[in-house]
Amino acid sequence: MIVNKLNFIGKPDHTLRKSKGKWAAFGILLGIGLVVNSCIEPFSPPEVSNPDTYLVVDGFLNVNGDTSTILLSHTQATNDNKTVEKESGASITVDAENGESYAFRDMGNGSYKLPPAAFDQNKKYRLRIKRLSGSEYESDYVIVSKTPPIDSITYRVDEGRNAMMIYVNTHDATNATRFYKWNFEETYEYRMAYYSSLTRDIPNRTIVPRNENINVCWRTLQSKDIKLGSTIKLSQDIIRDLPINIVDIGTNKLYFGYTILLKQYGLSREAFEYWTDLAKTTQGTGSLFDPQPSQVTGNIHSKSDAKELVFGYFSAAQEQKKRIFIRERLGAYPRCSAPDTLTFKDALEGAAVLLYYYDGLPKSGYLGTSESCADCRSQGGTTKKPAFWDQ
């Protein structure tokens, strides 16, 4: 994860003083590790190599009329390359300070969802978790962070980077928000170099017309970096042209069509400090779910063991959304080497994606190529056009 380093992003002085020594020590250890590669036994802090796993809680209460999502997973050692373990089967609720309770639904694979509800935005809320093992956890009560609307999303090409830069603009006329966080979903259309019009009917040992168009796909990706902004050091609560995403033109995401859905959240000072520390910690690892090189805990605690580590920060916030489309046709049409000409037997029994039957010189036959040249699903997308695509 990466946090945007902007001049107006500020952190309270007491936090900087508290963390300065920790990061200096971490930097010294890292430097030693880079220079010394023999003769000395490497040092691994307990947080890095501890074989135990701890609960990771990611998500927030969306009080703005949309679904809330909580994700449960486990930490792992820094040198552990296994897939992150998700945790299902837990019971998750959100309690209001007036006694009202809202239950999340277990969706499987560590995901829990709460349908939209009419929340009193002047109340405080807390998260409660009960795992299958019987262990219980709860967060501190948190206030609802108000979030102003997104004013605009702008973009322009950076010739030096050969990339499209995407920016966000927002403001709070009451000067009450001050701390911001953003997530986004980017969706792009892409096509393959060759069109496949044939497929195999294995039971009947024949080659037949293909019914599904696998030449055009759409793929949606979630943001991974931590995007934060603060106006605490400014006289006005205004965010102008904060870089929110960089799209490399060489990826061809911008050639056939691209859209970004930006989500904006107001944060409390405590939540902002947590996400700032986490961003610094995870710059070398990638995300909240990846191995953590140092300890960054939040406001969620075990009810039975105060010393048990729990990672995550529960917030309640208004979510503001805005979508834009970019149709600049930047990049290049995909290219592949020439397809092979196959006999009927090779076409039926082989693994090539079949294009069409060619009748001519130098020889007739079925034209075939690789999935990466003719089947867009091989690149992670879906052939189903998103409902919002033609907006």
**Assigned domain for 367 exists:** yes
**Assigned domain for 213 exists:** yes
Q: pLDDT tens digits, residue range 307-361?
A: 999 999 999 999 999 999 999 999 999 999 999 999 999 999 999 999 999 999 9
Count CB neighbours of 360 within 10 A. Answer: 7
283: confidence class by pLDDT, cuts 50, 70, 90:
low
Q: Determine the average pLDDT of the residues in 271-288.
A: 78
**Assigned domain for 117 exists:** no
**Tally of domains in the chain:** 1
pLDDT of residue 257: 97
Q: CA 235 to CA 257: how far, in whole Å?
A: 39
**Assigned domain for 348 exists:** yes
**Assigned domain for 347 exists:** yes
**Assigned domain for 349 exists:** yes
User: What is the average pLDDT value for the chain, to the nearest integer?
Assistant: 86
**Assigned domain for 185 exists:** no
Pairing assessment for the beta strands 144-145 and 315-317 based on DSSP bridges:
parallel
**Assigned domain for 210 exists:** yes
Q: CA 5 to CA 17: how far, in whole Å?
A: 18
Q: 144-148, 294-298, 306-310, 351-355: which range is least confident on average?
A: 294-298
Domain that includes residue 368, residue range: 193-217+338-379
pLDDT above 90: percentage of residues in the chain: 77
Q: Determine the average pLDDT of the residues in 211-224.
A: 96
Q: Give Rg (Cα) of the chain.
A: 25
pLDDT of residue 288: 53
Q: CA 178 to CA 233: how far, in whole Å?
A: 9
Q: pLDDT tens digits, residue range 221-250?
A: 999 899 999 999 999 999 999 999 999 999
79: confidence class by pLDDT, cuts 50, 70, 90:
low
Is the model's pLDDT at 9 over the cut of 60? Answer: no
Q: Determine the average pLDDT of the residues in 66-71.
A: 96
* Contact status, residue 70 vs residue 104, Cβ threshold 8 Å: yes
pLDDT of residue 44: 43
